[in-house]
Amino acid sequence: MTLFFRPSRGRRRLDRVRFHSLLEVVEESCHGLLTGRLRGYPFPLPLTEEDLDSWGPWCAAANPEHLPEIESLRRLAPLLAVPLLAKNNLVGILLLGQASYSASKKRALRNCSGQFALLLENARLTERVVAQEKLNRDVQLATEVQKRLFPDKPPATTAVALAGISLPARSVGGDYYDFLDLGGQRIGIALADVAGKGVPAALIMSVVQASLRVLVAEQNGSLALLAAKLNRLLHRSTGSNAYSTFF
């Protein structure tokens, strides 16, 4: 996060303009020109047009990836860059465009920078908490959906007592069992174990379940033919690194 402050014409108050962070401009390298200087110099850093003029040729010759950052600085014309540090980690930059800053103002800005950094860290922590809650809700929904893929109850028969239960290592998983009506008073028992765990395995498990139910409804041949068709469907629906054992 980078904040830029510039005084309005004819007024003493400061207008705040929020723009794409310079940290985002150099996010791929994580070693931006300005961020690198502020990591090594954790004090308010004056910026002048001469500084940018001297940085430009050097970046063009040795580090062209920093040129967008320099162009952003030229466009915004800040006169002071204040590092926002949280536990000695640079979490943001405060750019100010006022005409001049005395030593006392710079000290005040440095003292206040910790509060700005704390606000940024709290905002990022809140975003992570919200994202984690959303992920938890999605996983809970996936758990409910997967439970419905298993049979509600075993088929009624006087020959044997049937029961089944699946307890995944995580909220969802790749284990699968089913009871199938094969006709002619025959009951099929299907067992499958998808390689891996968690959501990826659960997705493939749903492919196995859906394919098997469709093939059983359509099949009029042997179980060996059914297994061969299921194998072909699963092969087309998954990558080369995914597989499932099936009985």
What DSSP assignment string belongs to 40-72?
Answer: H--S-EE--HHHHHHHHHHHHHH-GGGHHHHHH
DSSP 8-state secondary structure symbol assigned to residue 161: -
Please check whether residue 26 is in contact with residue 69, taking contact to mean a CB–CB distance below 8 angstroms: yes
Q: Where are the domains of the chain?
A: 2-130, 151-246
Quote the Cα angle for 131-137-140, to 5°. 140
* Reported CATH class of domain 151-246: alpha beta
* Per-residue confidence (pLDDT) for residue 109, from 0 to 100: 73
β partners of residue 4 = 17, 95
- Which of 139, 217, 202, 204 is closest to 166 using CA atoms? 202
Give the model's pLDDT for residue 95.
79
Residue-level pLDDT at 99: 61
Do 82 and 109 touch, CB atoms closer than 8 A? yes
What's the confidence (pLDDT) of residue 98? 66
User: Tokens 């010759």 map to which residue?
Assistant: 61
Q: 5 - beta bridge partners?
A: 16, 96
Q: Identify the pLDDT of residue 177.
A: 92
In the three-class reduction of DSSP (H, G, I as helix; E, B as strand; rest coil), residue 194 is classed as: strand
Say how far apart CA 223 and CA 103 lie, in whole Å. Answer: 85
Instruction: Provide the residue-wise pLDDT of the chain in tens; the chain has 247 residues.
Output: 444 443 334 333 333 333 333 333 333 334 577 777 777 777 888 887 888 778 788 778 877 877 888 788 888 778 788 888 777 777 778 777 766 677 777 777 777 777 777 777 777 788 888 888 888 888 888 888 888 889 888 888 888 888 888 888 778 888 999 998 887 788 889 999 998 888 888 888 998 998 888 888 887 778 888 889 899 988 888 888 888 889 9
CA quadruple 121, 122, 125, 126: dihedral, nearest 10: -150
Region class of 55: left (phi > 0), else alpha (psi between -120 and 50), else beta? alpha
2-130 is a CATH 3.30.1380 domain: no
Q: How far apart are CA 177 and CA 166, in angstroms?
A: 8
